[in-house]
A and B are shown apart, each in its own frame.
Chain A
Amino acid sequence: MTNEMTGGSLESINRRNLLALGGGLLASGLPVIGSANASEITPRKGGTIRLGMAGGATSDSLNPVSYTDSVPIALGHGLFNALVECGPDNTPLPELAASFEARPGAREWVFNLRKDVTFSNGKTFGANDAIYSLNMHRGETRSGAATVMKNVADIKKSGDQQITISLRAADAEFPAVLTDYHLMMVPEGHSDWSKPIGTGPMVIDRFDPGVRAVLKRTRDYWKADRGFLDGAEITVIGDSSARLSALISGQIDAINRVDPKTVSLLARSPNHVVARSPAGWHPIIAMTCDRAPFDNPDFRQAMKYGIDRQQILKTLFSGLGSVGNDHPIAPSSPFFNKDLPQIAYDPDRAKSFLAKAGLSDMHVLMQTSDGAFNGAVDLATLYQASGVKAGLKIDVKREPADGFWTNVWLKGSCVVSYWGGRPSATQMLAVGYESGAPWNLSHYNDPRFDQVLNAARGEIDPEKRQPLIRDMQELISHNAGAVIPIFRDYLDGHHRKVGGITPHGLYDFCNGRILEKAWLGA
């Protein structure tokens, strides 16, 4: 084991993952990686960083309602600020809202806005701007945040620097909703997204969607401890090999989404570091609980015991993640239910469940696609192979990448897709498992679950919310039609001279905040 583990606050998370893997990581000689040693050096001002990023397309726009992927998200955080920031451990932190509190019952929230913050056009940020910005994502809108904002009944100005938001149903974790990367603060009435105006550390200089973006800092940032760079140049590099080559050959200073297979290559390089962020991203094999044969609980159990989770983690993700327990809360989350026994690969048990269900000869059509995520086809292939020993007869069908989200996802009976992490545990549980939720992939319908979920939503005290969230994990793990084999870490790679790229429990590149957090050493 090397001296690389200097990850400070996240060391405990890394250690927990290592333990969860039974030390397999160490034994297999993989590099142990934490954040850069740069955390020991004080940040330095100046310089232009060159980022090579996956997650950009020619269809990108700077309009916050349209954000879907890493590049626009990072650009958004470079140009704008949100009311609330999602902290590294997914707790809501004040940003343009200096403070916030719930009225009793958690159906009304008051946000006190920061004074003396100005937009890049010189205008001072105030309540009208906040209301205009939030309303972009409500009502008739194509915003990706429309769903999470549906619970908002009304937004009122209760002072020059104060807004009051009332909700349709109680939500004790509502500030987490406002950390959504769509909900950026713009001046009231702003709509020219080719010339975005925000309170962020930089302004846009050039933007060729899907190709490159050039940003520069034109003034002092209102946050004293962030915004060190003079500018940034983002090159969109979709191909993971090309991204890595550009980093190693020195054309780029930092890249996101390092291919887990090639982490060992970066570890060999004396000049480069990998920042590893355990987070909530997970693949899901969703089996619809209301269609045969998945309406049979014993058959679902057979499917759960017929998948070799360790093998998937090791083979597809080089062990850089953790094993899942068929519920969507990651082991890195403070709300993770540690007491729930881990479902392991057990072919004999799967066989006995199959016999009990009387479905030993049942063939399952598993739909998968390269369009779902990179490795979705391989994951289904591994599932099929491990299922053979367990008596499961899985037929893998590779669907066209194009049209997957329209024609297959939410339509098939057994589909491989994924979930990105959500800023709050309740949100994560509700979005995919509440009865009748539009994205309830496995058609899970359980009044007990809905009841606990509503209780958790109204519970402001985190201490009392914790056990409710744990109960929900248990219900989903035992009863829902979701097979969640692993949680994958986000991997950012960067040159040693780059500082400030720290792990984050939600998303890559410091949850998109790389432009305000990173700095360049000598």
Chain B
Amino acid sequence: MLIILGKKLVAAVLTLMAASVLIFAGTELLPGDLAGSILQNNATPETLAQLRLDLKLDQPATVRFMGWVEKLAHGDLGRSLTNDQDVATEIAPRLANTIFLATYAALVAVPLALGLGLITALYQGRWIDRIANVGSLMAISFPEYFLAYLLIKILAVDLGLLPSLANVAPDTELGPRLILTLLPMITLVLGTLAHMLRMTRTAVLSIMERPFIEMAILKGLPQWQIISRHALPNALAPIVSVIALNLGYLVVGVVVVETVFVYPGLGQLMVDAVGKHDVPVVQACGMIFATAFIGLNLLADMITIIANPRLRRQTQ
């Protein structure tokens, strides 16, 4: 089993390296260029030329790529082209914010989705199943900014219960931070719940029809034991894979929520940087996102292998 996990790890590292090439190439392909995006309608040929020179855009891409990789290997993310700040110092607090919000939302969404998924599977066709189903479907039919606006309108503006701005500062303490980020957290939970819930329900239901479960039922085992011991481990593969996807989404895909709630996370930084063609920042964000995604999927693969008795047996 260790060999398989080791192989997966090597593959993940290789993927990350390939991702770095694609990310660099992708940033090279951004329409327009940095100089034009910064100056907008203040741009003249002279100011553009000067800015391009300042930004070393006159060197060939391969030279800049090798330079970038070399620095990356030394943990140096470079300096922002637009404001000349050190990219690592610029990113660090925002990365912490992104991880905080993603963890906050995941801690609520994953147990809720698993719990509701099991309950709806157990009580298939009953009212609780239908309510959870329709409710979660409605929630994902609305885009996140729409849910966010609705939540702000009702909870912040009309009722005045919660703050509409999640403008946390690095020195904000945990208590106030949890309150400030409550609305973005709820929005993200609503956006990711349905997918995980439905996958749990479906996977468990389809396993329940299998002969070995029927055997267990005939043996007279209690239902919770059948589900937790027999059904869940066998249904885990698709559930874990969907959870990994959604966790990845919580890290990389929350730009809209960050914008609406003015939450200083990594997504907003990257969109800003793309807009201004601040290549080192885009590349650094891209690498962080890639690492997060590949890491989560590696984890999902490992859990699938460890949890699935057949795969485990085969690899021993």
Contact = CB atoms under 8 A, between A and B. Distances in A.
A binds B: yes
Interface in A394-417: 400-407, 409, 417
A113 to B, nearest CB: 28
Interface string A248-282: 11111000000000000000000000000000000
B41 interface: yes
Contacts of A210: 264, 268-269, 272
Interface in A125-154: 140-144, 146-147
B9 interface: no
A147 B43 CA distance: 9
B30 A146 contact: no
B32 A407 contact: yes
Contact of B37 (A146, A250, A406): A406
B44 A59 contact: no
Interface stretch (A233-241, A351-359, A482-490): A233-241
B32 A141 contact: no
A402 B30 contact: yes
B202 interface: no
A403 B247 CA distance: 31
B30 A403 contact: yes
A438 interface: yes
A242 B269 contact: no
Nearest to B44: A438
Nearest to B90: A58
A345 to B, nearest CB: 28
Contacts of A141: 47, 50
Given A142-B54, A241-B260, A403 B272 contact: no
Given A61-B82, A141-B50, A245-B153, A239 B276 contact: no
A212 interface: yes
Contacts of A146: 44, 46-47
Interface residues on A, range: 35 or more
A242 B262 contact: yes
A117 interface: no
Contact of B160 (A241, A249, A407): A249
B167 A403 contact: no
Given A238-B259, A242-B262, A246-B165, A405 B47 contact: no
B273 to A, nearest CB: 7
B160 to A, nearest CB: 6
Interface string A418-441: 110000000000000000001100
A155 to B, nearest CB: 19
A375 interface: no
A403 B262 contact: no
B39 interface: yes
Interface in A197-214: 208-212
B69 interface: no
B275 interface: yes
Nearest to A404: B32
Given A61-B82, A245-B153, A248-B157, A409 B259 contact: no
Contact of A406 (B32, B156, B167): B32
B84 A61 contact: yes
B295 interface: no
Interface string B175-194: 00000000000000000000
A60 B278 CA distance: 12
B164 to A, nearest CB: 4
Contacts of B40: 68, 405
Contact of B41 (A59, A140, A208, A417): A417
A144 B38 CA distance: 10
Interface in B264-299: 264, 268-269, 272-276, 278, 281
Contacts of A241: 149, 152, 260
Contacts of B259: 238-239, 242
Interface in A34-72: 52, 57-61, 66, 68
B144 interface: no
A194 to B, nearest CB: 8
Interface in A174-220: 208-212
B90 A235 contact: no
Contact of A209 (B85, B163, B167): B85
Contacts of A142: 39, 47, 50-51, 54
Which has the most chain A C-beta neighbours within 10 Å: B43, B90, B149? B43
Contacts of A68: 38-40, 42
B24 interface: no
A429 B240 CA distance: 63
Given A242-B152, A245-B152, A249-B163, A58 B272 contact: yes
A59 B273 contact: yes
Interface string A368-408: 00000000000000000000000000000000111111110
Interface in A476-516: none
Given A146-B44, A236-B262, A439-B41, A61 B163 contact: no
B50 A212 contact: no
B128 to A, nearest CB: 34
A438 B278 CA distance: 25
A401 B272 CA distance: 12
Contacts of B41: 405, 409, 417-419, 439
A140 B83 CA distance: 18
Nearest to A182: B42
Which has the most chain B C-beta neighbours within 10 Å: A403, A418, A419? A403
Nearest to A143: B47
Given A60-B83, A245-B156, A235 B272 contact: no
A52 B84 CA distance: 25
Given A236-B262, A237-B262, A403 B32 contact: yes
11 contacts: A57-B276, A142-B51, A143-B47, A144-B42, A238-B262, A245-B153, A249-B156, A403-B31, A403-B32, A403-B36, A405-B40
Nearest 8 CB-CB pairs, A to B?
A403-B31, A406-B32, A403-B32, A59-B82, A406-B36, A61-B83, A58-B272, A144-B42
Given A59-B38, A241-B152, 10 more contacts: A58-B268, A59-B82, A235-B167, A239-B259, A242-B164, A246-B164, A249-B163, A400-B31, A406-B36, A406-B37
Interface of A: 52, 57-61, 66, 68, 140-144, 146-147, 208-212, 235-239, 241-242, 245-246, 248-252, 400-407, 409, 417-419, 438-439
